[in-house]
Structure 1
Amino acid sequence: MQHVIFYTKENCPLCDNALAILELLQHDYPLEIEERNIYTNDEWLEKYQLEIPVVQIKDITLNCEQISYESLERALEESAK
């Protein structure tokens, strides 16, 4: 099972879309999605506030401009090797 860290915040349509893509990918890939609200940790807030949502799979990090079904699927396949 792959561990996916999903940095998010409340009232964020881009975050909702990214989570929906991750949930779709769960049908084909065994994923454990750990949601982290950036407003609960100052370090996350400082690092990611302008890039939310952010998905981290092992050493692969995708920000709001990079997240798509294709990029997430590619990251999952790459990290599974």
Structure 2
Amino acid sequence: FFHLVKKQLTNHQLWTDNTLSLRNKQTMHLVLPRTLHRTKSSAHLLRRLFSQKYLPTLTLFTKDPCPLCDEAKDVLEPYKHRYIFLQVDITLPENKIWWDRYKYDIPVFHLNGQFLMMHRVSTSLLEKRLAEVDEEQQ
């Protein structure tokens, strides 16, 4: 029984698209064998695990100094509970590809790896895209 559940679990989209962190995956490998012998608690555990909502990732491509970036972060403050925020400093050598692409356009924002907006924050666009992400998760 455990092997069937483990196979289904590791083939699930959350597992394969790296939405779950390595630590979560390791925890699941440790916990599942101990809990799956209890059918009721196992079903509840799996249902709870895969019904969780995951926050989208908002990435800001920036450099220092960047007054427009600072302004954009202030505008985004009321929305910070709705996404995971990452900053990419395009001046670092490992981010050369982003420097080549965005050196004249910062701030630039991506939502879940997809271009969202540049130069100024459009709160209406951000709200629309965050709502779309919420709908996809339901």
TM-score by length of 2: 0.50
SS of 1:11's equivalent in the other structure is coil
1:36 matched to 2:84? The reply is no
- SS of equivalent to 1:43: helix
SS in structure 2 at match of 1:39: coil
Taking only aligned residues, the RMSD between alpha carbons, in angstroms, comes to 1.7
Q: Percent identity?
A: 29
State the match for 1:63 in structure 2: 118
Stretch moving more, 46-55 or 67-76: 67-76
Structure 1 residue identity aligned to 2:69: C
* CA radius of gyration, larger in: 2
Once the 2 structures are TM-superposed, how far is the Cα of residue 61 of structure 1 from its aligned partner?
2.2
SS at the partner of 1:26? helix
Structure 2 distance, partners of 1:60, 1:74, is: 14
| Structure 1 residues 32-71: Cα deviation after superposition (integer angstroms, max 9, x where no partner) | 1010011012111000111100110023421115x22222
**Whose helix proportion is higher, 1 or 2?**
2
Matches within 5 A, 1:1-81: 1-27=55-81, 29=82, 31-40=83-92, 41-58=95-112, 59-65=114-120, 67-80=121-134, 81=136
| Partners of 1:7 and 1:53 within 8 A in 2 | yes
Aligned pairs, how many?
78
Q: Judging by fraction of residues, say which structure has more strand.
A: 1
Q: Unaligned 5+ residue runs, structure 1?
A: none
Structure 1 runs, 4 residues or longer, greater than 4 Å off: none
